């Protein structure tokens, strides 16, 4: 009984569920999909995927601030090199003059008459052979000045290339805003279309008659549930009577069998084969009495048990064969689906009752199977014959306007200038400045040399040793004085030259590295600028429209998927009718067949079997009682056919 009540409650909840489910189902998701589509953002954004990657990367390199500042850095490097080179030229000139003076003094000293005699002559000859080493080792004075290149770059810097680059950069970055401003109306139209989809789905929810179709059925279920609750106390009372009646019947059968067993037990235990009928023992007589009591009770109650068995068999057997088994095999539904069986005017009763169209093939078996599979009422009851959800949610009627808006959209980008003519001329002037055509090899070769051909300290030390070999006199003093002068030239002029020459050498190397391939790179930048400018002027608008259409197709794809999900939800998930099948199984299989019919069949089969065996038991009990009971008298007769033999007749 409780299973039946729960089944009714499940069906009642199922009938009330479609309205609540529809409130939280498709229409509410429209805003989620709209948000996912992102229509509030610009339909497209100009990014490198629109143009050649190499073109835009070169433009990006040009737009970097350090690239426009590279020209200034090149000028500073040239000024530094040129200044250092000029100072070194002056220093090497002074060094050359100083060395030449020492060399002249030594030549005059070697013309002394003392050098004409031995051994002084050999020493003078040695000194004379080393005089050619006392000279400047560099030719910095022959290196050309960098004033021309500096003047050219200074002329280039008169144009503010950084501001031109920033203007082009700003113009390039303003493309998204320009596109957004030109597509405001398109975006508004698309948002309006998407908003209308949610309203349309709300209308579809109101037009679907699932709730209306279930209202009458729900009222009937409520009536049944009310009736069950009202009659439940009486049924529970009758159920106790049923159990009491079954207990009494079983007790009667048990009592009869008990008397039979007691009669057999006492009769067998007290039976004396040699005792006469009138002299049988008390135990044997008691057994006979028990058997006759069992026979008497059998005569009193067996006819009642037989009537109970017959009635139980008629009800339980027929319900089992006509309801329970056909229900399990679904043959019961096939019988109910027989055309014109329930209503002579309707071919299919269920379609006539639900759809008012009795010719539609809507069967009990099909509805039960769909509900067992937990399909929605819309699919199970074939409500598409009343309201076709596929026609109402046709994607074409929603996406056609969106597609036409994207098709008719035009974007004009004519005022984008990456770098104007002044900026390009500035770059070309920088190329022709001659920085990349400087003979860096000559500069590096000269700055890598030592200031003098020989180490002046070594030369001075050797000159002093040779002077010490000479006798005292003017020649010795002159050589020693010149050695001291050479040593002073080294410390005063050569040593200060070494560090600037190394610095100049490194600066020239840096300038060479900085200017190498500069012309090719700038030419590549200008060519890429021209290609990118041509792309923006001639192709960017069409590419934006193409990308926007792709974006529109993506939005349409979202909503096609969403509308398909709405249809599937309404067909399969809204008002899933598995509770109906479960409730029907609970009422028929559990309550009727399992709770009532199966115990009834077990009852009549057990009682009938016991009653059937009571008949031979009754006969045997009567026969045995004659041999166990004590008789009041006995019959004695003479059998004349056998002389001398006496027979006792009981």
- Could you tell me if residue 353 is inside a domain? yes
**Other beta carbons within 10 Å of 432:** 12
> Which tops the pLDDT comparison, 400 or 341?
341
- Could you tell me if residue 481 is inside a domain? yes
Residues 222 and 168 in one domain: no
DSSP H or E stretch at residue 648: strand 646-649
Name the residue among 583, 579, 588, 578 with its Cα closest to residue 328.
588
pLDDT at 21 over 60: no
Residues 630 and 585 in one domain: yes
pLDDT at 30 over 60: no
Domain that holds residue 473: 64-182+416-538
Residues 275 and 364 in one domain: no
Residues 361 and 293 in one domain: no
What CA–CA distance (Å, rounded) separates 328 from 130? 130
Residues 305 and 382 in one domain: no
- Could you tell me if residue 1 is inside a domain? no
Residues 641 and 614 in one domain: yes
pLDDT at 439 over 60: yes
Contact 594, 327 (CB under 8 A): no
- Segment 619-641, tens digit of pLDDT: 888 888 887 777 766 655 555 45
3-state secondary structure 478-500: HHHHHHHHHHHHHHHHHHHHHHH
**Residue owning tokens 């009330």:** 16
- Could you tell me if residue 54 is inside a domain? no
- Segment 140-157, tens digit of pLDDT: 777 787 777 777 777 766
- Could you tell me if residue 205 is inside a domain? no
Residues 501 and 533 in one domain: yes
Strands (E), 514-622: none
- Could you tell me if residue 380 is inside a domain? yes
Residues 339 and 296 in one domain: no
Residues 489 and 585 in one domain: no
- Segment 552-607, tens digit of pLDDT: 778 778 777 877 787 777 777 777 788 888 888 888 888 888 888 888 888 888 88
Distance of CA 305 to the CA centre of its chain: 72
Residues 440 and 533 in one domain: yes
**Residue owning tokens 């069409």:** 542
pTM, full prediction = 0.50
**Which of 492, 518, 538 represents a domain boundary (last residue)?**
538
Count of domains in the chain?
3
- Could you tell me if residue 193 is inside a domain? no
Beta strands at 635-638 and 646-649: parallel, antiparallel or unpaired: antiparallel
pLDDT at 41 over 80: no
Residues 241 and 294 in one domain: yes
Distance of CA 56 to the CA centre of its chain: 33
pLDDT at 648 over 60: no
Residues 426 and 530 in one domain: yes
- Could you tell me if residue 305 is inside a domain? yes
pLDDT at 212 over 80: no
């Amino acid at each position: 009984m409780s299973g039946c009540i729960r089944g009714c409650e499940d069906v009642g909840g199922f009938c009330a569920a479609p309205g609540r489910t529809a409130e939280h189902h498709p229409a509410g998701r429209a805003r989620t999909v709209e948000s996912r589509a992102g229509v509030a953002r610009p339909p497209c954004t100009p990014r490198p995927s629109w143009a050649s990657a190499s073109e835009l990367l070169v433009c990006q390199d040009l737009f970097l601030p350090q690239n426009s500042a590279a020209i200034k850095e090149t000028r500073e490097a040239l000024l530094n090199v040129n200044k250092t080179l000029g100072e070194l030229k002056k220093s090497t000139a002074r060094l050359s003059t100083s060395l030449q003076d020492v060399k002249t003094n030594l030549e005059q000293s070697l013309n002394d008459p003392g050098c004409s005699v031995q051994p002084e002559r050999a020493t003078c000859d040695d000194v004379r052979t080393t005089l050619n080493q006392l000279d400047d080792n560099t030719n910095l004075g022959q290196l050309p000045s960098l004033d021309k290149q500096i003047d050219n770059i200074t002329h280039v810097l008169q144009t503010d290339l950084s501001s031109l680059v920033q203007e082009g950069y700003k113009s390039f970055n303003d493309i998204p805003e320009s596109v957004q401003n030109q597509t405001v109306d398109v975006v508004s139209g698309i948002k309006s279309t998407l908003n209308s989809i949610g309203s349309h789905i709300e209308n579809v929810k109101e037009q679907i008659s699932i709730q209306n179709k279930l209202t009458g059925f729900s009222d009937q279920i409520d009536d049944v549930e009310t009736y069950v609750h009202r009659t439940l106390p009486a049924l529970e009372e009758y159920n106790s009577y049923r159990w009491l009646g079954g207990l009494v019947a079983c007790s009667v059968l048990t009592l009869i069998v008990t008397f039979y067993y007691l009669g057999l037990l006492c009769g067998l235990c007290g039976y004396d084969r040699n005792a006469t009928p009138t002299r049988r023992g008390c135990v044997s007589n008691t057994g006979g009495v028990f058997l006759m009591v069992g026979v008497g009770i059998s005569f009193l109650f067996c006819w009642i048990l037989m009537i109970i068995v017959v009635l139980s068999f008629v009800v339980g057997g027929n319900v089992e064969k006509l309801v329970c088994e056909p229900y399990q095999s679904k043959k019961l539904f096939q019988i109910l689906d027989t055309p014109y069986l329930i209503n002579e005017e309707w071919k299919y009763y269920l379609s006539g009752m639900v759809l008012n169209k009795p010719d539609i093939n809507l069967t009990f078996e099909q509805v039960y199977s769909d509900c067992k599979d937990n399909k929605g009422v819309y699919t199970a009851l074939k409500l598409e014959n009343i309201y076709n959800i596929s026609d109402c949610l046709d994607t074409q009627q929603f996406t056609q306007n969106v597609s036409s808006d994207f098709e008719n959209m035009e974007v004009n980008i004519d005022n984008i200038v990456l770098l104007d003519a002044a900026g390009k001329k500035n770059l070309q002037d920088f190329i022709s400045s001659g920085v990349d055509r400087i003979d860096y090899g000559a500069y590096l070769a000269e700055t890598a040399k030592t200031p003098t051909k020989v180490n002046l300290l070594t030369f001075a030390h050797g000159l002093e040793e040779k002077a010490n070999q000479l006798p005292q006199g003017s020649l010795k003093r002159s050589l020693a004085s010149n050695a001291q002068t050479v040593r002073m030239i080294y410390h005063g002029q050569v040593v200060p030259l070494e560090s600037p020459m190394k610095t100049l050498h490194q600066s020239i190397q840096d300038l060479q590295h900085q200017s190498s391939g500069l012309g090719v790179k700038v030419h590549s930048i200008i060519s890429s600028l021209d290609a990118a400018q041509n792309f923006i002027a001639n192709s960017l608008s069409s590419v934006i429209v193409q990308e926007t259409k792709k974006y529109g197709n993506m939005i349409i794809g979202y909503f096609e998927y969403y509308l398909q999900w709405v249809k599937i939800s309404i067909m399969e998930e809204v008002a899933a009718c598995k509770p109906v099948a479960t409730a029907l199984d609970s009422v028929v299989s559990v309550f009727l067949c399992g709770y009532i019919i199966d115990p009834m069949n077990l009852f009549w089969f057990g009682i009938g079997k016991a009653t059937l065996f009571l008949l031979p038991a009754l006969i045997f009990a009567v026969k045995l009682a004659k041999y166990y009971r004590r008789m009041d008298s006995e019959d004695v007769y003479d059998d004349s056919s056998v002389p001398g033999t006496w027979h006792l007749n009981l």
